Structure 1
Amino acid sequence: MRSIWNGAISFGLVSIPIKLVNATESHSISFRQIHTEDMGRIRYRKVCELEDREVSTSEIGKGYEDADGTIIPITDEDLAHLPLPTAKTIEIVAFVPADRIDPLQMDAAYYLAAGGAPAAKPYTLLREALKRSNKVAIAKYALRGRERLGMLRVVEDAIAMHGLLWPDEVRAPQGLAPDTKVTINDKELDLADALMDTLGEIDLDDLHDEYREALEEVVAAKAAGEAPPQTPEPARGGKVLDLMAALEKSVRAAKESRGEEEAPGEEEAREHAEVRPLPARKSARATPKQAGGKKSTSTAKKSTAAKKTTAAKKTTAKSAQGARKTASAGGTGTASARSTAAKKTTAKKTPAKKTAARKRTA
């Protein structure tokens, strides 16, 4: 890989010669601008507005336009003598935990290659120190006409540097969150957690640029004089009005895509997980219906109690009839039995027994 910058890492009193190499590359498909009538290329030409002629690259330099429109020429020699210690040096200023770095600050990524045999030992020392500390190095460096902030970390056996935006270059997300007050209940959070668990993790190496692949198919078909492939019909989904139903349906779809079977009871829940409009408002009638149900339960209890009372009365009546028969058959001894039965009947205070006792007294 070709280096784009040569310099050194300043690590306290240690200096490590390094070469800066791009860690990423673009695979995007680029287009040319053409004249649609004759397919001629449309090119941009660099023209001097004072002389009205095209100029070559060797004639082009840098200049800063002042507020009043004055152009101040800046040469490569001027940039080479900037009064900065980071002009040709990546100066490490601190070591911090990796989670202190906000991903919003991440910019371009580079690899730092050791610059020759003398750099091997200090390069390895810095790499192993970063590994053991579980920290990253914060550094300042100058590249392409400006001083930048960077983060050094270990990637396999190499040291990588991520360009960082300065803190004042990251905008605050003020006014972006919803203004409407929303309440999220525990069941909705549980379903969201279940969906996250079902989707699980993925190996990032399995991901690829489907847009680029589709674009390559279109280019190949056009080159062969064939019709480009048709866009597949997007799946039609219902309008999501019920968040709970949408979450349940998403969990089920994720499980199906991973070949997982439904757990017992999920088939019944699935029927209620369809994304559908919310039912018409009938909540005002829900309370009277519940009240009616309670009345029905109370009536049932009263009916049961009435049945028990009737059964007790029948049993008492049978006992009284048995006592009368014994009295008529037993004479004097029976009188004692009648007296005992009368006392029992009075103790229970059953209307039927009181009636029987009055008849026996008469």
Structure 2
Amino acid sequence: MRSIWNGAISFGLVSIPIKVVNATESHTVPFRQIHTEDGSRIRYRRVCELEDREVTQAEIGKAYEDADGTIIPITDEDLAHLPLSTARTIDIVAFLPADRIDPLQLDSAYYLVASGVRAAKPYTLLREALKRSRRVAIAKFVLGGRERLCMLRVVDDAIAMHSLLWPDEIRAPQGVAPAVGVTLRDKELDLAGTLMDTLGEVDLEDLHDEYRRALEQVIAAKAAGEALPEVPEPAPGGRILDLMTALEKSVHAAKRSRGGEADEETTAKKPAAAGKKAKKRTSKSTQPTKKTSSTPRTPAKKTPAKKTAAGRHTT
């Protein structure tokens, strides 16, 4: 893997030479822009406004534009004079429990590779210290022209680094939740819980990018001059407006998708309110039977009366 940053981890007075490599990769199907009339490629060229000519990458530098439009060129030599220790160092500033990090802050992921034989022992020391403490390291470093906050944690036998958004880069969720008040019934929450239990858990390794696969089928058909794949028919049924009906149908659909394996479990976890109503309906339906089925009881009462009353009948 090609390194994108070289430097060192600063762990107190311990320095650990490392290289930073990407921990993730994109499998997105790339598209090119074309001219729809003739299919030719659309390309973007770097043109100097003053000379009105295309320039090479070697001729391109960076600059800061001031508020009044003044252009201030900035060279790599200028950036080497940054009065900042994190320019070439991942500076650990604290250790925290992992659950203290808001997932909203997580950004890109990297692996930190020990650089050379001298880095092996301090690298292992930091890794094992993180394991034993069950904490993550919070650090700062510079990448891509800006200082970043990051989190170091252990993944298998490696140290991974997640760049974090600064707290002031996280927007507050104001205006996101429904503005109107909503009252939920216990039965609705019970059914939602039943649906969650029926859907169950999943191994993330079993999940795949179905959109990419479908897109590759379309591209392959176009390349071979074949008919495009048929679009699956949408699920039957119109829009369901009633929340309870939607939940019940979702539970049944989830059970069917699991091959009916959750039937007994779902039945056992029916909402308590529904169970009470079922009991009431059962008791009501059996009461008339008890009242009209007095025939067996009558002989039972009259038989001892005949034996003890000497021919007299008691009622």
- In the superposition, the TM-score normalised over structure 2's length comes to 0.82
Structure 2 CA distance for aligned equivalents of residues 211 and 79 of structure 1? 43
Give the residue type in structure 2 aligned to 1:200: G
1:239 has 2:239 as partner: yes
Q: Matched residue pairs, number? A: 271
Matches within 5 A, 1:153-168: 153-168=153-168
Deviation at 1:264, TM superposition (A): 9.6
Deviation at 1:57, TM superposition (A): 0.7
State the match for 2:106 in structure 1.
106
Gaps of 5+ in 1: 270-299, 301-362
State the match for 1:317 in structure 2.
none
Structure 2 CA distance for aligned equivalents of residues 264 and 248 of structure 1? 15
Structure 2 CA distance for aligned equivalents of residues 88 and 189 of structure 1? 53
Structure 2 CA distance for aligned equivalents of residues 102 and 121 of structure 1? 31
1:250 has 2:259 as partner: no
Matches within 5 A, 1:93-242: 93-242=93-242
Matches within 5 A, 1:68-83: 68-83=68-83
State the match for 1:262 in structure 2.
263
Question: Compared with structure 1, are the counterparts of its residues 31 and 77 closer, same or farther at alpha carbon in structure 2 (3 Å cutoff)?
Answer: same
**Could you tell which deviates more after superposition, 60-69 or 232-241?**
232-241
State the match for 1:31 in structure 2.
31
Q: What's the secondary structure of 2:111's corresponding residue?
A: strand
Structure 2 CA distance for aligned equivalents of residues 92 and 250 of structure 1? 48
Deviation at 1:81, TM superposition (A): 2.1
Structure 2 CA distance for aligned equivalents of residues 31 and 265 of structure 1? 46
Question: Compared with structure 1, are the counterparts of its residues 118 and 261 closer, same or farther at alpha carbon in structure 2 (3 Å cutoff)?
Answer: closer
Structure 2 contact 198–262 (Cα < 8 Å) conserved: no
Structure of larger gyration radius: 1
Question: Compared with structure 1, are the counterparts of its residues 258 and 50 closer, same or farther at alpha carbon in structure 2 (3 Å cutoff)?
Answer: same
Listed one character per residue, the Cα deviations across residues 234-268 of structure 1 (whole Å, up to 9, x for unaligned) are: 113332222122212212221221121533995xx
Question: Compared with structure 1, are the counterparts of its residues 265 and 65 closer, same or farther at alpha carbon in structure 2 (3 Å cutoff)?
Answer: closer
Q: What's the secondary structure of 2:168's corresponding residue?
A: helix
Structure 1 CA distance for aligned equivalents of residues 18 and 76 of structure 2? 22
Q: What's the secondary structure of 2:226's corresponding residue?
A: coil
Q: Percent identity?
A: 78
Structure 2 CA distance for aligned equivalents of residues 150 and 15 of structure 1? 17
CA RMSD of aligned residues (A): 2.1
Q: What's the secondary structure of 1:160's corresponding residue?
A: strand
Question: Compared with structure 1, are the counterparts of its residues 218 and 176 closer, same or farther at alpha carbon in structure 2 (3 Å cutoff)?
Answer: same
Gaps of 5+ in 2: 271-290, 292-315
Higher helix share: 1
Q: Which runs of 4+ in 1 moved over 6 A?
A: none
Q: What's the secondary structure of 1:32's corresponding residue?
A: coil
Matches within 5 A, 1:5-44: 5-44=5-44
Structure 2 contact 131–154 (Cα < 8 Å) conserved: yes
Structure 2 contact 24–110 (Cα < 8 Å) conserved: yes
Structure 2 CA distance for aligned equivalents of residues 51 and 97 of structure 1? 57
Q: What's the secondary structure of 1:43's corresponding residue?
A: coil
Deviation at 1:33, TM superposition (A): 1.2
Structure 2 CA distance for aligned equivalents of residues 265 and 12 of structure 1? 55
**Could you tell which deviates more after superposition, 230-239 or 251-260?**
230-239
Q: What's the secondary structure of 2:188's corresponding residue?
A: helix
Question: Compared with structure 1, are the counterparts of its residues 265 and 112 closer, same or farther at alpha carbon in structure 2 (3 Å cutoff)?
Answer: closer
State the match for 1:272 in structure 2.
none
Structure 2 CA distance for aligned equivalents of residues 152 and 107 of structure 1? 13
Q: What's the secondary structure of 1:187's corresponding residue?
A: helix
